[in-house]
Amino acid sequence: MTTSRVSFAHESEAALAGLFDFYRIAWHYEPRSFPIVFNQRGQAVAFFTPDFYLPELDLYIEVTAAKPEHNTRKNRKIRLLRQHHPQVRVKLLNRKDLERLFSRMRRAA
């Protein structure tokens, strides 16, 4: 997929997709939702949709540009995803991770 075909929820997602494109890393944007909360009858009542899937690495990536103190909800969703779907590999990239990544890319250019 290329960034020109996607409407991203946040500019940080678009920037990361651009990086994937530059390095020719195959990616899919929000390709799957995973049930993470279930009611007493076992029916899914809440889902989590990671931002990216990198098929060559079999890895989902969730991006958060929020300040660290606002990451509690995303961390909880990641924890529930791992609890209910232990076979799914997921990585959370927070604001600081993104800043470091893009800083390294600028220095390397």
Model confidence over 64-81: pLDDT tens digits?
877 777 788 889 999 999
Cβ 14 vs Cβ 4: under 8 Å: no
> Do 90 and 81 touch, CB atoms closer than 8 A?
yes
Q: Using the predicted structure, report yes or no on whether residue 52 has a pLDDT greater than 80.
A: yes
Tens digits of per-residue pLDDT, 3-18?
A: 667 899 889 999 999 9
> 108, 109, 96, 104: which is closest to 12 by C-alpha?
96
32 pLDDT above the threshold of 90: yes
Any idea where the domains of the chain sit in the sequence? 3-104
User: What's the pTM?
Assistant: 0.87
Distance of CA 36 to the CA centre of its chain: 15
Task: Please name the residue that has the structure tokens 């946040």.
Answer: 10
CATH number at 3-104: 3.40.960.10
Integer angstrom CA distances of residue 74 from 25, 45, 51, 64, 89: 25, 17, 12, 8, 15
